[in-house]
Structure 1
């Protein structure tokens, strides 16, 4: 339960999401005013700048800097973090604190507010930033606006002591910008939304059959020819309707640098995904020699205009390996993340079975079959990335045919892949489609826009448990964390994206961050009460979420066929 909310009915509207590890309400509140100062200790300067740019903009308060020295030891001995009536009165103090780091880790924090000020102790720079996100929530929904609503508005933080730290190190969302391109400003906006929910990984799905979204300078046709498709299927692939407008776009390398830097300032890691060897028609359309030209006419391929599992996959040739090594060299220059995602999912091998060149490669390498051929490609890039100090991660199909020892697995086809990977000693990110694919419909009603896959409600997501009970403690430690996946086949603009993602991402964020009981014992009613406050924050941020009562008239998409049969294969 949210102790700060339930202990004082007048403060239930400040319910925090995700739920902190420990909350102890106090008496009174800290009132902010024009003279409220921001005292940022070493390592917290970026958080102070963020507070001035967000909370400062919303409140109209300047939050001028003030340096008073390090008194965190005194704060700990008092037990309440109060700064008293001395020179720190009326101050928001930010510190990196060794004791907090020892107790809660680098992403943990302790926040203490009383009538004299706020003291925020972070275990590291990330902890200070996550604590600042909590401070913003405590200020109320209007703190999420970009300018003050009312001149002279009073701002206060309720007296409270919070101790908090995340359950998982990997708390992510995968954003598919290949099916429908999201302009750069939209990506930056989503980074802010992730940060507001204490999520720290953006898995950036940059390439697929329908479009290539990242500039690769040594291979310019990837964006010249691969970033645009002539038309787009409207709704499910069985729909007879088409949008006959060309669709496309891509991020320049400078756009990528900006996105990565913007995310890093918010303690979010951007993990790029470059699909190999399936989901590659856009790349083959740009460079036909990458495809199985001894089986199909690769010269006539164009970026795909519909959805589903595409039969056109990369040829297992040296040309393909060298080409993608060149692509990845540029990717590594742009993304400092430890992990690089190479896809590996939904790779039908019919063309390899029919290809004399592919069969000769299998024989040359002494492989048993086409699954081992895919494994050989994955192992090649695992070694290539490892030689450069990076780690490969891929969808759970990369387990088929054998997996390189250092590779990690994104378990999407349920829990089975993650269980098998963890039991075999591989690190795992749990993202099963049955629980956390946010393109799936949120309700069984007829008004849901382009209903896809399973019904997964806000409560369903809240009861998701990332760690399977079958794992031993040592195996469970292999679960790096979890992420929600957002595939955009039927999300053709920002409003549709918001509708599918929210409010379920708020529930997911609590699953990823908070120390929750088993799914059947979770306090969904309490979460729902806290969401009453959180909807106002989303309103202030301009998020076009699905209302609890169902879609609004402009959120519906009548006449667009989905795949609404419960239990049916969910992929569009």
Structure 2
């Protein structure tokens, strides 16, 4: 039977039973009593834990040998909506959550308490006796935004893989999937009014193999996209697990796939946009959207359909890595700058972002973008010719902490995801055996010592830090195995940082976390996660350059890869 101290993320408070006990037995008569508002959690419980144990968990109304699920106003007041109190004695399991989400996170904790085999999809020992340790757990998250960004533009992940990752996020009490759906290398969401975006933009003829410095290519065409029904299914599946899906549609840079499908979106007076194809390599692309009324109307139509698919209050518009060379040369862009009375190309990008900021706000949504969305605007949030961003606009701070600090001081909410700490495409060790090794070395311990709130912020400014996010860019992750290897086990460390009330980074007990990870690796094994083992990559996980040369696969590439 698992010890209460083996949980990940580490809960706020645990109280073991005051006397030795065999635990609460789970058997064919153990029933679920689902209070009002918890019916969805009971449904998940029967499907997931019932599937692993082979037990039916019938409905109950009082009595012993039951698991009682309840939404508690007292817990909501004391611990917040995502908080919970889980009490296990010899006869009952009482789950009190501040909301249905709190009850669901308690159910995730209960699953851990059952042991690693509770993560399987079918029982491996139908006659097994199940039990959970007795005691009390009181828990709540530190942050309301505990996210992972998944890039499906660089390498497409089929729908079943996305659903699987939603289950993995839920198992780690993460509650946001930032869904990076468009980029130079592919457009992944069906837009019915613009069929060329997927008919052309979802496919590229070949793909750079490895880092952008590599001279190797995968000559197979690559692509794919999600139909609108696929998206509805993904969003509904996430909602059942209390996960919000935040879509990202990139503008005005990282847009070559869209321009390849609709050449009028590009700067046609500078380059022959009709000759562009979906980009087949990595890096920062010079082809950006033309700042025309046609482009604005086009993307308004796109966002109209996106809003119909994603109920998320936040819509991500990218806004990063936007080189201005074409705008400098474009008579159309320069005329737009003169017409609006802007100071130059940087303020033109800010105007572009500001247009969709107002557009989304008018429809009850909040714009969020990478920290470049503040560039070209006023430092104090007022006085720009393009106008200040709406108060609800938020920033994903990826270029270190500086963008997040500036945003918080300007009164904007922030999600901290600095590349130096939580970019999971970066290599996990310095050795040459890491598959396609790029970026900085970021070990499991490095991620565990990540602190989302910069010490420079005042208490009022720190309140703008919504939470944190780990980013999974897939330039060098060509399949599910590679994604698993880069994401795990580091996502477990990130999940504890985002959920648990940890001390300052230097004071964190990494040895204790490693000890708890010994049990967690067994959970990941049961889930079929192809994580990086603590001792380094297994022979089949190594991927050096085939000829041993310096082609960008066998040698670590120092410094950061492109962001998005």
Normalization by structure 1: what TM-score? Answer: 0.94
| Count of equivalent residues | 544
Cα gap change, 1:468/1:563 in structure 2, threshold over 3 Å: closer, same or farther? farther
- Structure 2: gaps spanning 5 or more residues: 378-387, 546-550
Superposition pairs of residues 27-426 of structure 1, within 5 angstroms: 27-28=20-21, 29-68=23-62, 87=63, 89-402=64-377, 404-406=389-391, 407-426=393-412
Deviation at 1:570, TM superposition (A): 3.0
The answer (yes or no) to whether the contact 1:14–1:138 under 8 Å persists in 2 is: no
2:479 aligns with one of 487, 490, 493:
493
Which residue does the alignment assign to 1:74? Answer: none
Which residue does the alignment assign to 1:536? Answer: 522
The answer (yes or no) to whether the contact 2:436–2:556 under 8 Å persists in 1 is: no
Superposition pairs of residues 466-481 of structure 1, within 5 angstroms: 466-481=452-467
**Distance of 2:66 and 2:193 partners within structure 1:** 52
Which residue does the alignment assign to 1:484? Answer: 470
**Distance of 2:525 and 2:212 partners within structure 1:** 33
Which has the larger displacement, 114-123 or 533-542?
114-123
- Structure 1: gaps spanning 5 or more residues: 1-9, 69-86
Which residue does the alignment assign to 1:461? Answer: 447
**Distance of 1:160 and 1:340 partners within structure 2:** 41
**Distance of 1:566 and 1:209 partners within structure 2:** 22
The answer (yes or no) to whether the contact 2:205–2:221 under 8 Å persists in 1 is: yes
The answer (yes or no) to whether the contact 2:3–2:133 under 8 Å persists in 1 is: no
Which residue does the alignment assign to 1:7? Answer: none
The answer (yes or no) to whether the contact 1:452–1:563 under 8 Å persists in 2 is: no
Cα gap change, 1:565/1:148 in structure 2, threshold over 3 Å: closer, same or farther? closer
The answer (yes or no) to whether the contact 2:270–2:326 under 8 Å persists in 1 is: yes
Deviation at 1:240, TM superposition (A): 1.0
The answer (yes or no) to whether the contact 1:454–1:564 under 8 Å persists in 2 is: no
Report the aligned-residue RMSD.
Answer: 1.2
Deviation at 1:543, TM superposition (A): 0.3
**Distance of 1:365 and 1:562 partners within structure 2:** 47
**Distance of 1:52 and 1:569 partners within structure 2:** 44
> Once the two structures are superposed, what CA deviation does each residue of 1:465-504 show, in whole Å capped at 9, x if it has no partner?
0000000000000000010000000000000000000000
Is 1:571 aligned to residue 562 of structure 2? yes
Secondary structure, aligned partner of 1:171: strand
Deviation at 1:571, TM superposition (A): 2.4
Which residue does the alignment assign to 1:15? Answer: 6
**Distance of 1:13 and 1:110 partners within structure 2:** 14
Cα gap change, 1:32/1:189 in structure 2, threshold over 3 Å: closer, same or farther? same
> Once the two structures are superposed, what CA deviation does each residue of 1:108-137 show, in whole Å capped at 9, x if it has no partner?
000011111211001100000000000000
Which residue does the alignment assign to 2:502? Answer: 516
The answer (yes or no) to whether the contact 1:108–1:165 under 8 Å persists in 2 is: yes
Secondary structure, aligned partner of 1:65: coil
**Distance of 1:353 and 1:489 partners within structure 2:** 29
> Once the two structures are superposed, what CA deviation does each residue of 1:482-539 show, in whole Å capped at 9, x if it has no partner?
1000000000000000000000000000000000000000010000000000000000
Normalization by structure 2: what TM-score? Answer: 0.95
Which residue does the alignment assign to 1:84? Answer: none
Secondary structure, aligned partner of 2:75: helix
> Once the two structures are superposed, what CA deviation does each residue of 1:354-380 show, in whole Å capped at 9, x if it has no partner?
001000100000000100000000000
The answer (yes or no) to whether the contact 1:23–1:163 under 8 Å persists in 2 is: yes
Deviation at 1:562, TM superposition (A): 4.2
Deviation at 1:405, TM superposition (A): 3.1
Deviation at 1:563, TM superposition (A): 9.0
